[in-house]
């Protein structure tokens, strides 16, 4: 299938990043969200990030201008039905994603491919709630999308070869690298990453180290660019908890039990950078550890 137009559901951090890279690669992008403010903010973020790439010599002015012209927005979900490929990048809650796909299905072209940017939820289960499980895949981008080179491709039990090959070609056209993952909870990256973050929170919870000592130890001791608690704040503590719950529920192994302290931070609404407080307090000039 020749994919030329892409619909993106969700104008948050991931949705705006996905729209950005597809527009730069020459695809026409239609982005939707339930919030007009989110759509406006996404446009500003994309323009700023394209400007940053221009300043660094990653793209030229013509590429930036053309990319901005390729992106349009709508608050009507059904408008995405005319696109060739749809990428759902809504919040990491299965009920929300299922509702989006059920609302989309009556408006789709027969050949439209459906995908989810979910970081952990069963692709097979999401696909089963649509009219085209053979044309449904997991299409998991890493954050921040314009910078990170990896895309996880996850086939559901019914995904056909044609759909997989089409999306693999799309990843290549984006200038990124595809990693194929089986449809098991959290796939590859988060299956490995989230338990590490959860263990860092346990290390804090048990008083083995402070926020700053844990992050410094991992940055300097293992050469990680960000400490695990700093990274958790960047991802969003609610997202981290949601993925740990998917792992715990899906694999029924106590080693995936979310740390009670992680749950407590989420209950407090301290979700990381997006709420200005998480394991660090971001309300001042420099982040300050909260424990």
Q: Which of 16, 190, 198, 230 is catalytic?
A: 190
Whether 140 sits among the annotated catalytic residues: the reply is yes
Strands, E, within the chain: which ranges? 5-9, 28-32, 71-74, 85-88, 113-116, 136-141, 150-155, 177-181, 280-281, 288-289
Whether 190 is catalytic: yes
Among the listed residues 16, 20, 140, 230, the single catalytic one is 140
Catalytic residue among 38, 119, 122, 198: 119
Question: Of 49, 88, 122, 152, which one is the catalytic site residue?
Answer: 152
Half-sphere exposure of 112 (CA within 13 A, CB side): 24
Q: Which of 290, 210, 201, 289 is nearest to 243 (CA)?
A: 201
Contact between 3 and 85 (Cβ < 8 Å): yes
Contact call for residues 167 and 180 (beta carbons, < 8 A): no
Annotated catalytic residue 267: no
Angle between helices 189-205 and 228-235 (to 10 degrees): 120
CA–CA dist 14, 143 (Å, integer): 7
The catalytic residue positions are: 119, 140, 152, 190
């Amino acid at each position: 299938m020749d994919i030329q137009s892409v619909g993106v559901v969700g104008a948050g951090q991931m949705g705006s990043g996905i729209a950005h890279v597809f527009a730069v690669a020459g695809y026409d992008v239609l982005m939707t969200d339930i919030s007009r403010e989110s759509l406006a903010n996404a446009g500003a973020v994309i323009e700023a990030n394209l400007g940053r790439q221009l300043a660094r010599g990653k793209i030229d002015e013509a590429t930036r201008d053309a990319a901005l012209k390729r992106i349009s927005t709508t608050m009507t979900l059904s408008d995405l039905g005319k696109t060739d490929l749809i990428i759902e990048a809504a919040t990491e809650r299965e009920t929300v994603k299922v509702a989006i796909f059920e609302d989309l299905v009556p408006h789709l072209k027969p050949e439209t491919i459906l995908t989810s940017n979910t970081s952990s939820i069963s692709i097979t289960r999401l696909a089963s709630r649509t009219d085209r499980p053979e044309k449904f895949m997991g299409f998991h981008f890493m954050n921040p999308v314009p910078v990170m080179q990896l895309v996880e491709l996850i086939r559901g039990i019914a995904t056909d070869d044609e759909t997989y090959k089409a999306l693999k070609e799309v990843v290549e056209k984006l200038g990124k690298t595809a990693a194929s993952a089986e449809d098991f909870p959290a796939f590859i990256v988060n299956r490995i990453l989230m338990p590490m973050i959860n263990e860092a929170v346990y290390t804090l919870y048990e008083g083995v180290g402070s926020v700053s000592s844990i992050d410094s130890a991992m940055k300097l001791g293992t050469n990680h660019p960000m400490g695990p608690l700093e990274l958790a704040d960047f991802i969003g503590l609610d997202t981290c908890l949601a993925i740990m719950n998917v792992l715990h529920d899906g694999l029924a192994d106590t080693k995936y039990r979310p740390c009670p302290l992680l749950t407590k931070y989420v209950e407090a609404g301290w979700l990381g950078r997006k709420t200005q407080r998480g394991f660090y307090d971001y309300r001042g000039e420099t982040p300050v550890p909260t424990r």
